[in-house]
Structure 1
Amino acid sequence: MLEAFLQSLSCVFMLTLLTGAGYWTASRGWYDQTASQLLVRLVNFLSLPCFLFSSVMEKMTHDDLFALFEPMIVPFISIWLVFFASRIFVRIFRIDSLHSGVFSSAFSTSNNMFIGLPVALALFGTDGIVPTLLYFFANTTFFWTMGNYLEAMDGIKADKAQAPKVFSLATVRRVFSPPLCGFLLAIILIILNLRLPEPIMQAAKYMGGITTPLALLFIGLMIYNIGLRNIRFSRDLVLVLIDRFLISPLLCLAFTILMDVPETIAKIYVIQACLPCVLQIAVLAKFHHADVQFATTCVASTTIASAVTLPLWMMALTALY
C-alpha cells in the first residue's frame, strides 16, 4: 500500500518536472510560433502513432486480444456512459460551445498509459499490465474517434468555418487520425499473427519514447503562454475535476460490481477511471485550433489534484475489497 502511494506521488512529480521544464524553457524564449507548431506536429504525426503502435504490439498477443473481450466491456461501457453524462452537463450547465468538445474529452478520458500503468504495476505487479491495456484500448478508441471529432468541431466553431457532414471524407480524415491509425495497425497485425521486421519495431519504439516528454514540454509552454495568474478555477473546470475524481470512478466501480468482475481487475479499472485527463487533449486542441487554454488548464489541474485523489482511491478500494 505504501509503495503504491509513493509510486503515485512519484508519477505526478515526474510529470510536474517535465511540464516545469517546458515552462522554464518557454520563459527563456526558446519557442516561437513555428517551434510550438513543430511540437504539435511531431507528437500528432510521428511520435504518438509510433508510441501506440509499439506499446500495443509489445504488450498484447493474439490470445490476449481474443480472450479478454468480455472483461473489456466494462471500460467501454463506463467511458461511454461518462461521455453521455458530459453531453448532458454541456446542456444543463451551458458549457461554453467553443470548448464543449474539449470538455467532453477531458470528462471522459484518462491518462492511463503515462500514470495508470506505473501505478497499476506498483499495486499489482505484472498482473496489472493486461487490465490496464484493456482500459487503454477502450480509452484510446474513444479519444481518437469521438474525442478527436468533438475537438475538431470546437476548432471549426472557433474559426467560424463550415462544419463537415457527419458522414463525409473530411469527417473520416478527422476520425482516422495518425495516432488512431497506428493503434489500429497494431490491432490488425496482432489479429493476423504478424509482426513487422525488428528494425522497424525498434525504430517505432524509440520514436514513441519521445511522446511523453514532448507532450509535457508543450503543456508547460502553453501554461507559460497563458500565464499562471490567468488560470482560473472556472465552473467548467470544477465540473471536470468532480467527474475525473468522483463520477467516473464511481460509475466504473458500479459496473465492476454489477458484472461481477474479478477483484484485481475491478480495482485496476477503478484506478484507471480516476486518473487525470489524457495529456493529448491539449496537443489536439492546438492542432484543431480549439480552446488550448481550457485544455491545458484541465491537464495541469487534474494532474496536480491526482497527487491527493489517487492515494485516497487506493485506500478506499483496499477498504472495500
Structure 2
Amino acid sequence: MVDIAGVLGSMFSLIIVTILGFIAARVGYLTADIRPKISNLIFNITLPCTVLASVGEVDPSTGGDAITWSIVLGAAIFFVMLVAAAVAVAVLRVPVEQRGLYLFQGVLTNTGFIGFAVLDSVFGGASVFLGSIFIAISNVFLYSLGIAALTSGGASGAEAHRASLAETAHTVLRNMLNVPLVVSLIAMVVFFANIPVPAPIMQAADMTGGITAPLAMMLVGLSIADADLKSVLAEWRLWGFTLIRFLITPLVAYLALAPIVPSELALGVFIVLLAMPTGSMAGPIAATYGQDGDIPARGTIVSTLASFVIVPILMLVMTMA
C-alpha cells in the first residue's frame, strides 16, 4: 500500500522538526506565551489553506470512490475511538472520577496538526482533502457526544450538567463551526461541482499551507520541552491507555476493514487518523468544563511521544498485509 522506507523517512523528518522545536523552546526562541498565537495561526489560516490546496491533488477519476468511503469511515471513526477508549478504561480499571477524562482524551485527537502533517508526508496532498472530510464529520460527534462523555462522571461533571442548556448548546455550536470545518465544506463543494479556482489563489493556498506541518511539529516540541517528562513518563496507566487506544485499536481496525474497503487511500487515512495522539486542546477543554485538565495534558505528551513509533508500525503492517 505504501513505501515503508518513504514512511520512515517522512516520520524521521517530522521527528527532526519536533526536535528543532524542542531546542528552540530550550533556548528561548519559542515560549509558552506565544503558543496560543501560533496555534490560532495554524488552525485559522495555514491549516485551512492546506485543505483548500489539497483539492487540486485529488484525481477526479479515482476520487469519487475514495470520497464515498471517507464519508462512511468518517461517520464511524468517532464511535470506534469512543468504544476503544471505553475498553481501555475497563481493562486498566481507571478510577470512576477519571473515566470521563480518559474517554475524552481518546476521542479528541491531534488530527488537525500532527494528523495532516503525517498524511501529507505519507500519502500526499490528496489524503489531506480526504482527512478534512473525516474531521468535518467526526467534529459533529466530538463536540456533542464527546463533551457528554467528558462530563459523565464525578461531582464536577454533575455541576457541568446543571449548566443551562442554551449555554451548552452555544458552546458546542461555536466549537463545531470553526474555520477548518467551513473551508473543508467549501473544498468539497469545489471538488464535486468542479468549480475552477484561479491559479494564483491555489498557489497562495499551497504556499501558506506549506508551513502548517513544520509549525505544528515545532509546537509539539514546545509542549514536550514545557512538560515535566520524568513524572509524565512514570504514568503507567497513560502508557497502557496509549497502547490499547492508539496502537492495538488501529491494528484491529485495519485487519477487519482491509478485506471490506476497496479504497486503499481512504482506509489509510482512516487508520492514520485513528492512531493520532491526544490533541493539545484536550486539557484546556476539560478544564473549561470543570474537569482536571492535567490528566489529558499528560496523555497528550505520552501519546505524542508514542506516535513516532506507532505510526511506522502501522504503516509496516499495511505494507506487509
Task: Tell me the TM-score normalized by structure 1.
Answer: 0.75
**Residues 5-44 of structure 1 correspond to what in structure 2 (within 5 A)?**
5-44=4-43
Per the alignment, residue 82 of structure 1 pairs with: 80
8 A contact 1:23–1:221 mirrored in 2: yes
| 1:163 Cα deviation after fit | 5.5
| 1:213 Cα deviation after fit | 0.9
Task: Encode CA deviations 1:23-42: one digit per residue, 9 max, x unaligned.
Answer: 10111122334312211111
Match for residue 299 of structure 1 among 286, 304, 311: 304
| 1:276 Cα deviation after fit | 7.4
Q: 1:107 to 1:40 in 2, by over 3 A?
A: closer
Residues 1:310 and 2:305 are matched in the alignment: no
**Residues 16-165 of structure 1 correspond to what in structure 2 (within 5 A)?**
16-55=15-54, 57-60=55-58, 66=64, 68=66, 70-72=68-70, 75-76=73-74, 78-86=76-84, 88-89=86-87, 92=90, 93-94=93-94, 95-98=98-101, 100-106=103-109, 113-120=116-123, 132=127, 136-147=131-142, 150=146, 165=165
Q: 1:69 to 1:14 in 2, by over 3 A?
A: closer
Q: 1:66 to 1:118 in 2, by over 3 A?
A: same
* Paired amino acid for 1:220: G
Equivalent residue pairs, number: 299
* Paired amino acid for 1:52: V
Q: Distance in 2 between matches of 1:97 and 1:38?
A: 29
Task: Encode CA deviations 1:219-268: one digit per residue, 9 max, x unaligned.
Answer: 100101003323325323422333332222322432342x4x44xx3487
* Paired amino acid for 1:180: L
| 1:134 Cα deviation after fit | 7.6
Q: Distance in 2 between matches of 1:47 and 1:74?
A: 27
Structure 2 counterpart SS, 1:31: coil
| 1:152 Cα deviation after fit | 11
| 1:141 Cα deviation after fit | 2.5
Q: Distance in 2 between matches of 1:299 and 1:178?
A: 25
Q: Distance in 2 between matches of 1:153 and 1:163?
A: 16
Per the alignment, residue 225 of structure 1 pairs with: 226
* Structure 1 portions without partners, runs of 5+: 122-128
Per the alignment, residue 290 of structure 2 pairs with: none
Task: Tell me the TM-score normalized by structure 2.
Answer: 0.75
* Paired amino acid for 2:9: S
Q: Distance in 1 between matches of 2:48 and 2:266?
A: 25
Q: Distance in 1 between matches of 2:196 and 2:184?
A: 14
Per the alignment, residue 278 of structure 1 pairs with: 276
| 1:209 Cα deviation after fit | 1.2
Task: Encode CA deviations 1:267-312: one digit per residue, 9 max, x unaligned.
Answer: 8725851577437822x34764654332233122122333444324
Between 1:298-307 and 1:40-49, the stretch displaced more is 298-307
Structure 2 counterpart SS, 1:278: coil
* Paired amino acid for 1:169: H
Per the alignment, residue 236 of structure 1 pairs with: 238
* Cα RMSD after superposing both structures: 3.8
Q: 1:78 to 1:110 in 2, by over 3 A?
A: farther
Per the alignment, residue 210 of structure 1 pairs with: 211
Q: Distance in 1 between matches of 2:179 and 2:46?
A: 10
Q: Distance in 2 between matches of 1:46 and 1:141?
A: 17
Q: Distance in 2 between matches of 1:120 and 1:302?
A: 17
Structure 1 counterpart SS, 2:28: coil
Q: 1:31 to 1:273 in 2, by over 3 A?
A: same
| 1:104 Cα deviation after fit | 1.9
Q: 1:227 to 1:292 in 2, by over 3 A?
A: same
